[in-house]
Amino acid sequence: MKSNIFILFILASFFTFQSCSKDDPTPEVDQEEVSAATLTFTEVEAEKHDDHYHYHDIANPEIEKVEFTGEKFLPPVGAHVHLEVGKSYKFELMVKDFAGRESQQTFIDRADQHFAFLLGAPAGTLAAEYSDKTADGKAANVGITGYITVLKASDSFTFRYLMRHLNPGVKNTINPKTDIFNPDFNKFGGANDLDLKVEFHLVAEGHEGH
């Protein structure tokens, strides 16, 4: 009888642990298993339509690319990104796993649990919107791809791309139009899948040199 009670206790403990673990978000792409990440910013043309923009590729665009490697996913020493006031840029995240295979699609496949925050820019200097889509063509609002428009110049600052893995149901509390730059990302319960940082400088038109 005592042995049966003991077995029941062990089983109950096991299922309780499994239930708790399922509620806790774990990074979809563990940074310990990621070999590299890249952020690319490509100049595009923005065409205004009422309250939104259409974006078009242009010939010979300005392209800024930053690779993040190593244990702490640091950019190369001295790396910085210059974006020009009045211009728009398409940004793209690329992630490789430990075997060198691209794995950013993982975030889109589970769009209901992922959202990227773009942090560090002085208020009013940037506008942004996301353009990634799910397999059925609906807006994913994750932040693997999107567009940034530079509204005004600023001194250098640390730009932070933070991919958040959210608890179940939390994505529904995020407004993809107003929360992209929200510094209070911790209020959206979850864990961080990626935390990439690089120096940004928003420059006036005609600025020379990097």
Rounded Cα gap, residues 114 and 138, in angstroms = 15
pLDDT at 6 over 90: no
| Structure confidence at residue 30 (pLDDT) | 52
Residue type, 197: K
Q: Higher pLDDT residue, 25 or 7?
A: 25
Query: pLDDT tens digits for 162-208?
Result: 999 999 999 999 999 999 999 999 999 999 999 999 999 999 976 55
Q: Which residue has the higher pLDDT, 123 or 28?
A: 123
Handedness of CA 97, 42, 108, 15 (dihedral sign): positive
Give the tens place of pLDDT for each residue, 11-67: 444 444 343 333 455 555 554 477 899 999 999 999 877 777 889 999 999 999 999
Helix (H, G, I), strand (E, B) or coil at 207: coil
Query: Does 4 score more than 70 pLDDT?
Result: no
Whole-number average pLDDT of the chain: 86
Asked whether 103 and 95 are in contact (CB, 8 A), the reply is yes
Q: Structure tokens of 100?
A: 């060198």
C-alpha to C-alpha distance for 209 and 164, rounded to whole angstroms: 34
Identify any residues that bridge with 161 across adjacent strands, giving them in sequence order: 118, 196
Identity of the residue numbered 19:
S
pTM score, two decimals? 0.82
CA 129 to CA 46: how far, in whole Å?
Answer: 12
